[in-house]
Structure 1
């Protein structure tokens, strides 16, 4: 298994310049490779006698046309950038991908910039990157904490975000499966909370609401400054100070939300052998901008992603209910499914006078909380 640990790194002034150059070089390689790939692909479309571009052909073309200044930077940056570009082009021909589309050029205005290398090492608790030829000054980079993972280090991703530098350290490790306990559970995802057989997990606690209100104030302030002063506003000290505060609060929100999801998914794979969740189509659920904001903050996709790889790690079974399975409309006692005017909507059911969080079976009279009823229906799939 591949386990990845994210750490913050603290390069000195010399290595900071090196990392910035590598981030720019990665973006340059991607854009030049994409331009080359587009030209080859258009030529192949016009004249089918020309071979269709692939990773090997584009990489050789890029290496053949390298400039002198490129030899002072890591060659693996170019190789891995073109490899990722090849994967992006492969996904372009698969419309089942969630973010299907043609690869796009990278912008230097994106706040997150990074590069990859497969020749990094951990030496004496520090990160050592591969040194290019004819480079004398090269230093190991201090990391925020010693990695508690041991094994073969794979492709390391180093990136810069908001003036800070981070590294993702993937290790190939041997994982032991968790002890079997013979228990099963079902998880019903909702905006703001998650229901399962043993209770409720609040995914939007009060402290997150406070941070979101503060973020709204900062965003309005920055928008007002840009509206009044245009591009000049972004150069003022007040604008920069407010932007730093906004980035700080976004970072806090990120840490709180990911901590909740990580702890809950770990609890699920530790306590249960089988877990049932809904195979939700989040894009189809975004009916309004208000609903989209709530779905984005509830992190349905991130929860599923974490649960899937942890179940694979610890040899636990994850069952995905079909998208058309009526877990909300079905009575968990008699099996009656509400249809037509009897269906429960976001506002409840006005015809029968029921609320959004109430489930009342019109056949057997069974009354239960809507989310608890959905959990029981999902649990019946085991």
Structure 2
């Protein structure tokens, strides 16, 4: 199993992440399971401590605000501000939480690598930083990890690749033999970063980020072609045709997911949640559900990787839409279709591949009327002439039909596919970037 997953761009090298299945002995599987459990324990302990420190800091700030108010000095007519001692109750950060957890370590924790705790607290600090980022207002607070989650994992910055085999960090004082982990494919010969190990559906995987120098990435040859990509639920339109994002095999997998979900829900309703979850049949059905989810994820990732690679191979300039997906999710059915179409993942993967291979990626303005503009004459539909999800009531047209009512247009009163018209409008932005705005 070999997948490209990441595209973080560094100054002198690119980060290229690949995932491999891990084959380990029974003893090493127990080690992996214990590390997953310890990572979850460290995260939950750190989050509980972080919440306590954050609540205490907020109370302290409120007390200082009400007690130490600015007072006016009658002699100098200046404001006298009483400074508070921030060291009495500092704002929580990952280093403070880490030090507190290290001080309170139990004896059994010393049988684990100290880096497991530090990396867990570092990730928690990043999660809190994202929560306070105003650019992400809908980002939720970090939550506690559950042992019942289908995916469990941990990170390691001390794991090493030696002769194609993966060696975990051995804790001090451990007398057992430490066996290497076998990967499903031969790893790349580049420096590595922090590795992520995870367990899904009884199988073990590892994501290895490679630091590849920029000079090692071979740029794609110029083709002299350009295209726009119109994103739709279920298919993407480009100059060479359209790409189905929900093929038949993926729809069949989603039908299996729906079937297994109904079985589990029926068992919980009949037997009760706690009793049903202890049943062997329930656990067997849950395992099948997790396997179906994994298959759907693999199919989607394979489609996206192949489609984006085809675009950077055949086109020098690519135009895509800047969609506000959250505002587009108006109903339960539409939300599910947009989620399965993976608009965000498509943009993420295409962005780093264009950066790697020297292609130009243009993002259209959110207000650019690619759907309402005629690609031939440039007339923009406004008011009751606009095309909506239900078509156009004034002219009785369908939602996938575009008809230009400009008498001087060659396409006057002709039915044109709306998605193809939008794709052509996006392609126009390559030669006419001044149009990339609200019209």
| 1:103-137 deviation per Cα after TM superposition (whole angstroms, max 9, x unaligned) | 22222221111100111111222211111100122
Other-structure match for 2:340: 297
Q: How far apart, CA to CA, are the structure 2 residues paired with 1:11 and 1:369?
A: 53
Q: TM-score, normalised by structure 1?
A: 0.96
| 1:134-175 deviation per Cα after TM superposition (whole angstroms, max 9, x unaligned) | 01221111111212x221011000011111111001110122
**Do the aligned partners of 1:150 and 1:173 also contact (CA within 8 Å) in 2?**
no
Other-structure match for 2:179: 139
**Do the aligned partners of 1:33 and 1:58 also contact (CA within 8 Å) in 2?**
yes
The residue correspondences of 1:114-153 to structure 2 (distance < 5 A) are 114-137=153-176, 138-147=178-187, 149-153=188-192
Among candidates 169, 172, 195, match of residue 156 of structure 1:
195
The 10-residue stretch of structure 1 (325-334 or 244-253) with the greater mean CA deviation from structure 2:
244-253
What secondary structure sits across from 2:419 in the alignment? helix
Asked if 1:200 is matched to 2:200, the reply is: no
What secondary structure sits across from 2:264 in the alignment? helix
The residue correspondences of 1:168-179 to structure 2 (distance < 5 A) are 168-174=207-213, 175-179=217-221
The structure with more radius of gyration: 2
Among candidates 285, 288, 309, match of residue 331 of structure 2:
288
The offset of 1:248, in angstroms, is: 2.3
The offset of 1:243, in angstroms, is: 2.3
The offset of 1:352, in angstroms, is: 0.5
What secondary structure sits across from 1:308 in the alignment? helix
What secondary structure sits across from 1:47 in the alignment? helix
**Do the aligned partners of 2:373 and 2:381 also contact (CA within 8 Å) in 1?**
yes
Other-structure match for 2:280: 237
Other-structure match for 1:35: 48
Asked if 1:186 is matched to 2:199, the reply is: no
Q: TM-score, normalised by structure 2?
A: 0.84
Q: How far apart, CA to CA, are the structure 2 residues paired with 1:245 and 1:32?
A: 32
Q: Which runs of 5+ in 2 are unaligned?
A: 1-13, 62-85, 431-439
Q: Which runs of 5+ in 1 are unaligned?
A: none
Q: How far apart, CA to CA, are the structure 1 residues paired with 2:50 and 2:317?
A: 45
CA RMSD of aligned residues (A): 1.5
1:239–1:121 distance in 2 versus 1, CA, 3 Å: same
Other-structure match for 2:26: 13
| 1:182-222 deviation per Cα after TM superposition (whole angstroms, max 9, x unaligned) | 32111011111110011111111122222222322222122
The offset of 1:227, in angstroms, is: 0.6
Among candidates 215, 225, 231, match of residue 257 of structure 2:
215
Other-structure match for 2:36: 23
**Do the aligned partners of 2:230 and 2:238 also contact (CA within 8 Å) in 1?**
yes
Q: How far apart, CA to CA, are the structure 2 residues paired with 1:327 and 1:56?
A: 49
What secondary structure sits across from 2:429 in the alignment? coil
The offset of 1:176, in angstroms, is: 2.6
Other-structure match for 1:317: 360
Asked if 1:44 is matched to 2:57, the reply is: yes
The offset of 1:95, in angstroms, is: 2.4
What secondary structure sits across from 1:89 in the alignment? helix
The offset of 1:61, in angstroms, is: 1.5
Among candidates 419, 422, 425, match of residue 371 of structure 1:
419
The offset of 1:331, in angstroms, is: 0.9
Structure 1's consecutive aligned runs of 4 or more residues displaced over 3 angstroms after TM superposition are: none
